[in-house]
Amino acid sequence: MSDRDTAITAFLAQTGHAGWARQVIAADASSRRYLRLTRGTKSIILMDAPPATGEDIRPFIRIANVLVSAGLHPPAILAKDVTQGLLLLSDLGSQDVAKRVEHHPTEVTQVYRASVDVLIHLTKVAPPDLPRLTPTVAGEMLAFTGEHYAQRPVPDLIAAMTRAMAQLAPNPNILALRDYHAENLIWRPDQDGLARIGVLDFQDAFIAPLGYDLASLLRDARRDVPDDICTAMTEYFSTATGAGPDFPAQLACLGAQRNLRILGVFARLARQMDKTRYIPMIPRVWSQLQKDLAHPALTDLRAVVADLLPAPDAALLTRLQP
């Protein structure tokens, strides 16, 4: 038995769950993994976030408390061991938004509208003290893209992104959960209102300009969201929040910044961490990026991207193999 298994067994013994069956259900881009523990008809979730790999469960706990106070529905924290990086969480269900719309395509509008309702609600939440996605920070985040995707410094890209953010999305004033996409949202049709969406994977939350999480939801790296749904949800969000006529340009800017960063993240995951499942997603990220860069307000950024970043052709994707 490994030291990690020993720590988990001791934690579960202390919480009265030592005899429950364990099934690994998910691992994400970090070193965290999730296990579903079952006994009879009962189930709970174990988050395993090893501190030795740099994981820290305290941000998850903090943001979970913020979301509960705001009337939203993250997993309830049932037990914790901060030193060992272990959390017992309530089980929100096994059907995420991605699975729901895949198996029930006639419900796509209903499910995405419920997901956007959570984002509308978040615009009314007083932002906690978290890092802010200022124009400077948004630009600096793309150094990662140069290092891991382009594999060279990209100061002109950083400068162009900073300028675009300063012009189009200069005001970080909304709590953004940052990885708000269909696989991190649990669909709970037996609930009402905001409770229909269970929220996961929010430990990297920060304060961002209006629309950051909407870009995350609609410019999904893992699946194609139909254009008509993107248009309808953008209009719905914009009307509900009073975003104004300049919001499409702001959303395009935020979507471009996010997907430029994701190119670097996925490249690093593949080349340095052997997580090759992200390689097939890179062409979709590139395609989403090009759609946002087509906005007239992003002409300068589009030119810089075209000059500095290679398209993900077969040769590039092969080079990303570890």
Whether 5 and 84 have beta carbons less than 8 Å apart is answered as no
- Which domains does the chain show, CATH number per domain? 3-90 (3.30.200.20), 97-319 (3.90.1200.10)
> What does the block give as tokens for 9?
């067994």
Nearest C-alpha neighbor of 101 from the set 27, 197, 194 = 197
Parallel/antiparallel/unpaired status of strands 77-81 and 33-39: unpaired
Run of H or E residues at 37: strand 33-39
Distance of CA 200 to the CA centre of its chain: 9
- Which string of b and e fits 216-249 if b means at least 16 CB within 10 Å? bbbbbbeeebeeebbeebbebbbeebebeeebbb
Element (H, E) at 48: strand 42-48
Backbone angles phi, psi at 15, to 5 degrees: -95, 0
CB neighbourhood size of 317 (10 A): 16
Q: Say whether 34 sits in a helix, a strand or coil.
A: strand
* Residue 126, CA distances (Å) to 67, 75, 176, 207, 221 in order: 11, 21, 12, 10, 29
Q: What pLDDT, on the 0 to 100 scale, is given for residue 20?
A: 94
Tokens of 89: 């969480």
- Contact indicator for 55, 81 with CB cutoff of 8 Å: no
pLDDT for res 26: 67
Please say whether the beta carbons of 123 and 241 come within 8 A: yes
CB 260 within 8 A of CB 305: yes
4 — alpha (psi -120 to 50), left (phi > 0) or beta?
alpha
Per-residue pLDDT of the chain (322 residues; tens, 9 = 90+): 578 888 999 999 999 998 899 998 866 656 788 999 999 999 999 999 999 989 999 999 999 999 999 999 999 999 999 999 999 999 999 899 999 999 999 999 999 999 999 999 999 999 999 999 999 999 999 999 999 999 999 999 999 999 999 999 999 999 999 999 999 999 999 999 999 999 999 999 999 999 999 999 999 999 999 999 999 999 999 999 999 999 999 999 999 999 999 999 999 999 988 889 999 999 999 999 999 999 999 999 999 999 999 999 998 999 888 7
Instruction: Output phi, psi for 205, to 5 deg.
Output: -55, 150
Give the pLDDT of residue 275: 87
> What does residue 56 show for φ and ψ, rounded to 5 degrees?
-145, 120
Task: Give the pLDDT score at 321.
Answer: 85
pTM summary value: 0.94
pLDDT at residue 3 in the model:
80
What's residue 74's pLDDT? 97
Contact 121, 84 (CB under 8 A): no
